């Protein structure tokens, strides 16, 4: 197996790279458009391209060592940044995906594309969560670009789209995922306002990386949901983090969404049902508390 990875310096990318460190038999080439710091396993190749939208440039840096699998994680992943720069969001999220799908099709390799639970932001989830057969209803620039990227990926017969939920955990990346600002506030004992009526199905970033690798290894096709085993409100998330990491939970102030409007507006409930994935892998990912205590 030879993996060509994008987004290696990011939050999920660095967890994925860390995981591959345990699989020396997997060859790793990392395709990058930035020089952000990135810790790679010994023996991996770092390939720089100025423009992730040109297949020819990527082929040139790849040379004769062509991948069997592409794992595409690179994205403009901040919803606020996408709202401010919708053209850049489209180029980064849809343009890069189109290029990599074109490359996969040319090389005849399998491609796994990271997407998001936020493609469902237009309507609240049922108690069991959205399943793969539910129709996306994107509203923001970020979620529209990710939904368009999904459509571009699914045109290729050997593609797998993985809708990830809120990711948390600690990695080498500068991006800090869902824990970053929560831990900062808990640490400095500042008031932490969290919603009691906004729900996610969070998953530890290492468990998400493991799922991505397993889906790629099995050459899974179509859409897969990748969330954790619990549907948690933001308050429940914060209280569990405080309890598991030994912080004072009394700084957490529960609020209702209507009381603190946000820009861009965050969806109320994008919980996903990930039963299809867990059945395939034969295991359910860790709960928030277990994953934090084990980290």
By beta-carbon distance, which residue lies closest to ligand NAP? Answer: 10
> Helices 141-154 and 96-107 meet at what angle, rounded to 10?
10
Dist. CA 242–CA 239, nearest whole Å? 5
Cα atoms in the 13 Å half-sphere on the side-chain side of 162? 25
| Binding residue (CB under 6 A) for ligand NAP from 32, 144, 200, 204 | 32
CA atoms of 13 and 233, how far apart (whole Å): 26
In the complex, least distance from residue 74 CB atom to ligand NAP, rounded to whole angstroms: 3
- Residue 95 as a binder of ligand NAP (CB under 6 A): the answer is no
* Pairing mode of beta strands 159-164, 110-116: parallel
Q: Which is nearer to ligand NAP, 51 or 189 (CB)?
A: 51
Measured from the CB of residue 104, what is the shortest distance to ligand NAP in angstroms?
Answer: 16
Residue 33 binds ligand NAP (CB under 6 A): yes
Nearest distance in Å: CB 189, ligand NAP:
26
Rounded CA separation 158/142 (Å):
25
By CB under 6 A, residue 67 contacts ligand NAP: no
CA angle, 233 then 112 then 9, to 5°: 70
Q: Which is nearer to ligand NAP, 176 or 251 (CB)?
A: 176
**Residue 103 binding ligand NAP, by CB under 6 A:** no
Q: Assess 228 for contact with ligand NAP (CB under 6 A).
A: no
Element containing residue 292 per DSSP (H, E): helix 288-294
Q: Could you give the CA distance from residue 89 to residue 92 in angstroms, rounded to a whole number? A: 5
Binding-site member from 4, 17, 28, 76 for ligand NAP (CB under 6 A): 76
Q: Within 13 Å and on the Cβ side, how many CA atoms surround 41?
A: 21
Helix, strand or coil, per DSSP, at residue 27: strand
**β-strand partners of 46:** 30
The answer to whether residue 75 forms part of the interface with ligand NAP (CB under 6 A) is yes
CA dist 232 and 220 (Å) reads 28
Q: Should residue 141 be labelled a site residue for ligand NAP when binding is judged by CB under 6 A?
A: no
Interacting residue with ligand NAP among 22, 24, 36, 265 (CB under 6 A):
36
Backbone φ/ψ region at 16: left (φ over 0), alpha (ψ -120 to 50), beta = alpha
232-233 vs 199-200, strand pairing mode? antiparallel
Nearer to ligand NAP, 99 or 175 (CB): 175
Instruction: From 237, 239, 240, 225, select the one nearest 272 (Cα to Cα).
Output: 225
Q: Which one of 13, 95, 136, 227 is in contact with ligand NAP (CB under 6 A)? A: 13
Tell me if 10 contacts ligand NAP by CB under 6 A.
yes
**CB nearer ligand NAP, residue 92 or residue 242:** 92
47: which DSSP letter?
E
Please say which residue, 47 or 251, places its beta carbon nearer to ligand NAP. 47
Q: Considering beta carbons, is residue 109 or 118 the nearer one to ligand NAP?
A: 118
Answer yes or no whether residue 166 interacts with ligand NAP by CB under 6 A.
yes
Asked if 128 touches ligand NAP (CB under 6 A), the answer is: no
270 binds ligand NAP (CB under 6 A): no
Residues that bind ligand NAP (CB under 6 A): 7-13, 32-34, 36, 38, 73-77, 92, 114, 116, 146, 164, 166-167, 173, 175, 177
């Amino acid at each position: 197996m030879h993996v060509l990875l994008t987004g290696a310096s990011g939050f999920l990318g660095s967890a994925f790279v860390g995981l591959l460190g345990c699989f020396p038999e997997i060859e790793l080439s990392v395709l990058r458009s930035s020089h952000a710091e990135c810790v790679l396993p010994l023996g991996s190749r770092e390939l720089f391209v100025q423009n992730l939208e040109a297949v020819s440039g990527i082929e040139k840096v790849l040379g004769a060592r062509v991948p069997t699998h592409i794992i595409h994680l690179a994205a403009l992943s901040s919803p606020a940044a996408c709202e401010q720069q919708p053209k850049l969001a489209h180029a980064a999220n849809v343009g890069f995906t189109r290029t990599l799908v074109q490359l996969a099709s040319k090389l005849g390799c399998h491609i796994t594309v990271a997407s998001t639970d936020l493609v469902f932001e237009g309507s609240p989830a049922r108690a069991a969560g959205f399943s793969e057969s539910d129709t996306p209803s994107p509203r923001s620039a970020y979620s529209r670009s990710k939904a368009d990227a999904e459509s571009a990926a699914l045109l290729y017969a050997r593609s797998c789209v993985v809708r990830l939920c809120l990711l948390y955990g600690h990695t080498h990346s500068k991006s800090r995922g869902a824990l970053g600002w929560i831990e900062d506030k808990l640490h400095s004992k500042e008031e932490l306002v969290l919603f009691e009526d906004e729900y996610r199905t969070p998953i530890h970033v290492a468990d998400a990386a493991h799922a991505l690798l397993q889906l790629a290894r099995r050459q899974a096709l179509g859409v897969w949901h990748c969330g954790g085993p619990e549907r948690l409100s933001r308050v429940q998330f914060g209280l569990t983090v405080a309890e598991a990491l030994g912080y004072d939970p009394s700084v957490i102030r529960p609020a209702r969404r209507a009381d603190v409007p946000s820009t861009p507006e965050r969806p109320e409930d994008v919980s996903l049902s990930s039963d299809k994935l867990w059945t395939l892998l034969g295991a359910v990912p860790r709960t928030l508390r277990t994953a934090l205590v084990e980290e």
